[in-house]
Amino acid sequence: MRWLAFAPLLIAAVIGGFFLWGLDPDRDPNAIPSVLISQPAPAFDLEAVAGLDMPGLERADLVGNEGPVIVNVFASWCVPCRAEHAVLTSLVEQEGQTLFGINYKDKPEDAVRWLNELGNSYARIGSDLSGRAGIEWGISGVPETFIVAPDGTVLYRYVGPVVGDDAVQTFRAALRDAEDWQPEAGT
């Protein structure tokens, strides 16, 4: 009985320890790790957006670039994408990043109108009318943004619009890490 009386205290202490660990400010309980991270980018082959003077996008385009590339999944019907567009444009124009687009489940004429209105800083855009490439990339919504290494390895995934100071800083940090990234020997 004497020792049993300590059981609640011990159990509470153990649970408390887990709580303390769980409060780590760097831990985001909503973050869903992508199974794609550190894996080769999925195979896909997308046609150009009809009516847009810009080539389509396929798996091979992601490989052999000078630095890491940004792959952004967007659509004209997606309101947050509109806000994110300015951030991505500044990454391209001011920092010289390479930006590829996957135009997700979007009518080509809507996409063309949207890009004409907001400007187009994408190097290539593939039209994913069926959403098939979206499934290959495992996206949970639009927008999502990936960073891919020159050898085609997916390094980073950002779910939701890269908008606001925190998001942009997080994304920039991921880009810097990607620039320093070296493929492991033997892979």
Partner 1 sequence: MTPEIGHFALALALALALIQSILPILGAARNDVVWMKSAVWTSVAQTVFVGIAFAALMTAFVTSDFTVLNVIENSHSLKPLLFKISGTWGSHEGSLLLWVLILAVFGALVALLGNNIAEGTKARTLSVQAWISVGFLSFMLFTSNPFDRVFPPPLDGQDLNPLLQDVGLAMHPPLLYLGYVGFSIVFSFAVAALIEGRVDAAWARWVRPWALAAWVFLTAGIALGSWWAYYELGWGGWWFWDPVENVSFMPWLMGTALLHSAIVTEKRGAFKSWTILLAILTFSLSLLGTFIVRSGLLTSVHAFAVDPERGFYILGLLAVSIGGSFALYAWRAPSMEGGGLFKPVSREAGLLVNNLILATATGIVLFGTLYPLFYEALNDGQKLSVGPPFFNAGFIPVILPLVFMMGLGPFLSWKRANVGTVAARLKWVAVLSVGFGLVLWYLVRGGPILGYLSLMLAAWLLFATLREWALRIRLFEESFRVTMRRARNLPRASWGMTIAHGGLAIAIFGFVGSSVWKSEQILFVSPGTEISIAGFDVTFTGAEQIRGPNYVAERGTLSVRRNGEDLGFLYPERRYYPVADSSTTESSIRSTVAGDLYASLAQPASENVEGANVWTLRILYEPLVMLIWIGSSLLVLGGTISLTDRRLRVGAPRRTAASQPAPLPIAGE
Query: Which residues are at the interface with partner 1 (CB under 8 A)?
Result: 1-2, 5-6, 8-9, 12-13, 15-16, 18-25, 27, 29-30, 32-33, 75, 77, 105-106
Residues 81 and 152: beta-carbon distance below 8 Å: no
Question: Cβ 169 to partner 1, closest distance in Å?
Answer: 18
Question: Cβ 94 to partner 1, closest distance in Å?
Answer: 29
Looking at the Cβ atoms of 16 and 119, the one nearer to partner 1 is 16
Looking at the Cβ atoms of 27 and 64, the one nearer to partner 1 is 27
Question: Cβ 105 to partner 1, closest distance in Å?
Answer: 5
Question: Cβ 137 to partner 1, closest distance in Å?
Answer: 17
